[in-house]
């Protein structure tokens, strides 16, 4: 362990802005004593707390020249508790943090210490398993690693022996384009819907972490996003909800990180919950969703004021090449502006952009959203095009199904849904015209008159409705549900019209068409994403597929209507591979709707994606090989380094970017100016854990019992025979009659592949997830292999040359 002299004390400076004070810190720091170590841990379970306290006493006895304290040594009475914690964290060389349980107080304090630049040593009782799985799912402390212990003597030895360094906090310029960072909850409850709506209506752009898209948030990513933000919002859910432990732990850590960096912070809590003592004075709780907007508004106002008043000019220290590299965000919605400068226009994108496809199909992370925003940014600036980007949430359709459709015959269901979509899309087009075309229409009297007609028929009440598309969709579903209760039967066209429209909309349809013609509009583009976001993989219901079929039917009707009057209409729906497979099987006339399927099989495309991003962030020009070798070691374990990385992903852009970024983060945290082989190997372990957690969540969405199946393959040797595969699936608690389904999912997701002697591996991503094509020519009793992207996390061995 370093001597006290070798570890400089942190400067004891009060924060210029503190969320508790709502202004500059009002505390007196003159009485603060420095410490060599400060222990933070939960009081429950008491036997672990006792072990840590005993370990600190042992260290005191062994190192009498040093001062070691725990949170219990602080004098708390009469003060805000966290003010004492804050002073201790600011004046301590090392923070000993117990993460045996995911205690929100401790996670908040860890985040706060990281934000201060303190040296953190996480510790875990190796024999206590209560939160072990949740700790792995959280994943934010993988960067540090952690010391394990069994007793106080063991822990004291671990603490004394380990040399630790502060987590590197980069001095990055603030993001004035997207000043707010949001950590979304894994549950899309009403509060989350209202929160998203409030942010969209605020006019401030924001970035977000969405656990539905990426299961684990890395500490490097959280630090970067928080550091570049003016305001940070986290959404904590009620502890009774499944998955609340991981979600709330993540939120607590990010909130602490943000507060230490003097950001405006909103900790939003669902329900009346006994709050963790460290941040109970700043958390904002809501019991009904309508309260959310009131809690968000003060943060939005403070961010706007800071944007206006700030004269911040980034005085950056000289950066080495590695520090300049910025590969962008994993999620396309967080880098809409950046995409325009380094987006790679693939053949699939060009087909969709030309209006030759009604469906864009691909797995999560395959780049559907990038194409969504690529098309939007192409046509939205043009006055000749009307572009609508619609992202409904799945729970609105669940309500529609349960309250309206379930008691209707299948044929009537389809007619109702087609009418529903026709009405919804037409109303959104009318809203777009009324809200955004008013100032344009003044330039040409016939166009102004046509605009007035649309506005009149659209209606003042509808126009004044608040909320984003998700809220408007929910309002429409509620209205239909009320009308359904008032109607004895629904079978005729007139009754369907009464149910869905409430009144005849033919006049509005004619008015919209007239405006498009009079206003010299060439085309309407309707881009629809997120429909299947909450639908479990390979488990979509017939009603779900009917929802998409009816949308496609309504879009064809809308297209015919507009094109008969000289205006092009393009509707593009973005869906997953498995949903598309269901759609093809359940649609009699399959040829009506053309689709582009995102197939990332060419390494050269990934090279171009990376080349453009590296070139944009560093200013360097050159081919991929020259740029790559300037940043990464050329080989890993005898294999060319880029091929090594690519081969340990499922060939999706998000995964390749994540692996490369994690490698760079590893190198930076170790003080290197180039990514080494060791950094890539360490990144492989972390990304493998991320992939495993992602897969576990997706399996769990299908069936609760399936979530543990991937972990049942820990330590196995590939190839693995059919009997062993089924035995391991059974050992995870899957019933015998469900084993075929679980096995099929593992193959479809690409976790398991078919092994063809002597050393050929077939995985689903190589065959566009067509399992029949993948299994062509292979006998029924074949052996399996496990994809390299999961092997590091599961410690898989191989008996053949790879």
Q: What is the mean pLDDT of each run of 10 residues along the chain (802 residues)?
A: 45 79 83 89 94 95 92 68 86 93 94 92 92 89 83 92 80 89 93 89 89 88 94 96 95 96 96 87 92 93 85 57 86 69 86 93 88 91 90 73 75 85 91 87 86 85 57 81 78 76 79 90 92 79 86 92 90 92 78 84 93 93 94 93 95 93 91 94 94 91 91 95 95 93 94 90 88 83 93 88 54
pLDDT score, position 173: 87
pLDDT score, position 212: 85
Distances (CA, A) of 552 to 218, 414, 420, 544: 39, 11, 12, 13
Distance (Å, whole) CA 751 – CA 548: 28
Distances (CA, A) of 272 to 269, 280, 284, 718: 8, 12, 10, 50
HSE (side-chain half, CA atoms, 13 Å) at 387: 17
What are the structure tokens assigned to 277, written together? Answer: 């003592």
Sign of the CA dihedral running 571, 577, 579, 580: positive
Q: What is the pTM of this model?
A: 0.81
Residue 95's DSSP bridge partners are 38, 120
Distance (Å, whole) CA 770 – CA 750: 11
Distance (Å, whole) CA 730 – CA 733: 5
CA angle 582, 583, 589 (to 5 degrees): 135
Residue 96's DSSP bridge partners are 39, 121
Q: What count of other Cβ atoms lies within 10 Å of the Cβ of residue 184?
A: 20
What are the structure tokens assigned to 393, written together? Answer: 């949430």
Write out pLDDT tens, residues 601-629. Answer: 899 999 999 999 999 999 999 999 999 99
Distance (Å, whole) CA 723 – CA 781: 9
Which helix (H) or strand (E) segment is 454 a member of? helix 445-458
Write out pLDDT tens, residues 221-236. Answer: 999 999 999 999 999 9
102 Rama sector, left if φ>0, alpha if ψ -120 to 50, beta otherwise: beta
- Composition of the chain by helix, strand, coil, percent to 5: 50, 10, 35
- The phi and psi torsions of 538 (rounded to 5 degrees) equal 60, 15
Distances (CA, A) of 451 to 381, 389, 407, 516, 581: 20, 21, 40, 9, 42
Distances (CA, A) of 5 to 31, 61, 66, 104, 117: 22, 19, 11, 33, 18
What are the structure tokens assigned to 448, written together? Answer: 């102004």
For 44, which DSSP code? S
Max CA pair span of the chain: 89
What are the structure tokens assigned to 204, written together? Answer: 């401030």
How does DSSP assign 347-405, residue by residue? HHHHHHHTT--SEEE--TTSSHHHHHHHHHHHHTT-TTEEEEEE---HHHHHHHIIIII
pLDDT score, position 312: 46
For 769, which DSSP code? T
Q: What is the 3-state secondary structure (H, E, C) of 601-656?
A: CCHHHHHHHHHHHHHHHHCCCCCHHHHHHHHECCEECCEEHHHHHHHCCCCCHHHH
Between strands 639-640 and 635-636, the pairing is antiparallel
Distance (Å, whole) CA 765 – CA 287: 44
Give the contacts of 512 (CB within 8 A, at least 6 positions apart).
426, 429, 430, 433, 454
584 Rama sector, left if φ>0, alpha if ψ -120 to 50, beta otherwise: alpha
């Amino acid at each position: 362990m370093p001597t006290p002299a070798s570890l400089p004390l942190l400067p004891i400076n009060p924060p210029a802005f503190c969320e508790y004070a709502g202004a500059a810190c009002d505390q007196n720091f003159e009485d603060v004593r420095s410490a060599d170590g400060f222990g933070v841990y939960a009081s429950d379970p008491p036997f672990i707390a006792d072990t840590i306290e005993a370990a600190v006493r042992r260290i005191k006895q062994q190192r009498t020249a040093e001062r070691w304290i725990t949170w219990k040594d602080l004098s708390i009475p009469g003060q805000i508790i966290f003010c004492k914690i804050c002073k201790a964290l600011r004046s301590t060389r090392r923070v000993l943090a117990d993460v045996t349980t995911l205690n929100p107080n401790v996670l908040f304090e860890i985040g706060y210490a990281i934000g201060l630049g303190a040296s953190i040593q996480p510790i875990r009782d190796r024999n206590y398993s209560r939160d072990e799985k949740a700790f792995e799912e959280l994943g934010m402390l993988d960067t540090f690693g952690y010391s394990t212990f069994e007793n106080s003597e063991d822990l004291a030895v671990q603490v004394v022996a380990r040399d630790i360094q502060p987590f590197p906090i980069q001095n990055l310029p603030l993001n004035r384009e997207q000043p707010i960072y949001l950590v979304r909850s894994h549950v899309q409850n009403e509060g989350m819907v209202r929160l998203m709506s409030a942010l969209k209506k605020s006019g401030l752009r924001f970035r977000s972490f969405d656990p539905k898209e990426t299961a684990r948030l890395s500490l490097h990513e959280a630090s970067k996003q928080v550091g570049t933000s003016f305001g940070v919002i986290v959404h904590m859910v009620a502890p009774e909800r499944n998955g609340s432990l991981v979600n709330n732990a993540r939120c607590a850590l990010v909130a602490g990180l943000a507060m230490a960096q003097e950001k405006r912070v909103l900790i939003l809590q669902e329900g009346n919950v006994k709050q963790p003592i460290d941040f109970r004075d700043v958390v904002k709780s809501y019991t009904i969703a309508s309260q959310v907007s009131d809690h968000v508004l003060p943060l939005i106002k403070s961010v706007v004021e800071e944007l206006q008043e700030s004269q911040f000019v980034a005085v950056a220290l000289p950066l080495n090449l590695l520090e300049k590299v910025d590969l962008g965000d994993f999620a396309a919605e967080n880098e809409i502006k950046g995409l325009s400068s380094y987006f790679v226009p693939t053949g699939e994108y060009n087909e969709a952009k030309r209006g030759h496809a009604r469906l864009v199909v691909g797995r999560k992370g395959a780049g559907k959203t990038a194409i969504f925003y690529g098309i939007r940014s192409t046509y939205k600036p043009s006055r000749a095009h009307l572009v609508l980007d619609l992202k409904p949430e799945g729970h609105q359709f669940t309500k529609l199904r349960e309250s309206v459709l379930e008691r209707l015959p299948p044929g009537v269901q389809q007619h109702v849904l087609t009418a529903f979509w026709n009405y919804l899309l037409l109303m959104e087009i009318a809203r777009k015209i009324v809200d955004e075309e008013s100032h344009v229409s003044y330039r040409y009297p016939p166009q102004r008159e046509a605009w007035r007609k649309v506005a009149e028929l659209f209606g003042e009440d509808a126009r004044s409705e608040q909320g984003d598309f998700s809220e408007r969709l929910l309002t429409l579903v509620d209205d239909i549900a009320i009308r359904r209760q008032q109607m004895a039967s629904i079978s005729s066209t007139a009754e369907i019209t009464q149910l869905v429209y409430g009144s005849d909309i033919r006049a509005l349809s004619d008015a919209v068409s007239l405006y498009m013609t009079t206003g010299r509009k060439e085309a309407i583009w309707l881009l629809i994403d997120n429909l299947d976001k909450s639908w479990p993989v390979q488990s979509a219901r017939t009603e779900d597929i009917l929802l998409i079929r009816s949308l496609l039917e309504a879009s064809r009707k809308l297209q015919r209507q507009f094109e008969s009057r000289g205006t092009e209409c393009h509707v593009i729906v973005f869906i997953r591979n498995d949903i598309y497979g269901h759609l093809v099987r359940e649609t009699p006339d399959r040829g009506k709707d053309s689709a582009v399927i995102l197939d990332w099989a060419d390494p050269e495309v990934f090279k171009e994606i990376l080349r453009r991003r590296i070139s944009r962030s560093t200013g360097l020009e050159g081919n991929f090989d020259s740029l790559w070798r300037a940043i990464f070691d050329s080989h890993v374990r005898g294999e060319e380094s880029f091929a090594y990385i690519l081969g340990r992903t499922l060939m999706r852009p998000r995964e390749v970017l994540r692996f490369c970024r994690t490698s760079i983060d590893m190198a930076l945290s170790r003080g290197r100016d180039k990514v080494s082989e060791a950094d890539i190997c360490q990144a492989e372990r972390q990304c493998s854990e991320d992939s495993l957690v992602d897969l576990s969540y997706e399996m769990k969405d299908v069936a609760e019992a399936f979530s543990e199946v991937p972990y049942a393959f820990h330590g196995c040797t590939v190839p693995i025979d059919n009997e062993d595969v089924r035995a391991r699936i059974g050992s995870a608690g899957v019933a015998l009659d469900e084993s075929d389904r679980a096995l099929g999912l593992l193959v479809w997701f690409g976790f398991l592949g078919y092994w063809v002697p002597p050393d050929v591996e077939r995985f689903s991503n190589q065959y566009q997830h067509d399992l029949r094509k993948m299994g062509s020519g292979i006998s029924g009793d074949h052996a399996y292999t496990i994809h390299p992207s999961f092997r590091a996390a599961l410690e898989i061995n191989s008996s053949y040359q790879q």
